[in-house]
Amino acid sequence: MSLTLKARTAEEIMTPGPTSLAATATVTEATEFLTARGFGAAVVIDDAGRPVGVVTKTDVLVHARQRAPGLEPDDTPVTEFMTPAVFAVRPDTPAASVVEQLLVLNVHHLFVADPAGVVVGVISPIDVLRKLA
């Protein structure tokens, strides 16, 4: 059996309109944000709306494990433990390149940014699987 990717570009694969976290958000706020929405990751933006990093559920768990017990609430800013890079592609990036980048970068979320650098979508392995036929 052969599977075919039924998308030509990143824009055809992505989930549009991702929500973001402010760089001033705390661990507690990030945890509530991710769990309430069922997200695995969120892009972190600065005051000008530019992406400065990504925070994932894994980042939150690792932070919690490394944190001294008994400190409540956790007001650590996400900028202290987020991934300080946003792996992104343009909307017109070929679909095959998107899949290759997910594999090569070993990431579970690839963001889609327009030419101005504004994040307009996110691609997860589930998004790719939805386009297989």
Distance, CA of 124 to CA of 53 (rounded, Å) = 17
Where in the chain are the domains?
10-130
Closest CA to 124 of 52, 45, 41: 41
Could you confirm whether domain 10-130 is CATH 3.30.70.580? no
Could you list the pLDDT tens digit for every one of the 133 residues in the chain?
Answer: 788 999 999 999 999 988 899 999 999 899 999 999 988 899 999 988 888 999 999 999 888 888 766 666 678 899 999 999 999 999 999 999 999 999 999 999 999 999 988 899 999 999 999 999 8
pTM equals: 0.85
What SS3 state is found at 103?
Answer: helix
Closest CA to 80 of 96, 98, 62, 103: 62
Q: Which residue has the tokens 């990093």?
A: 53
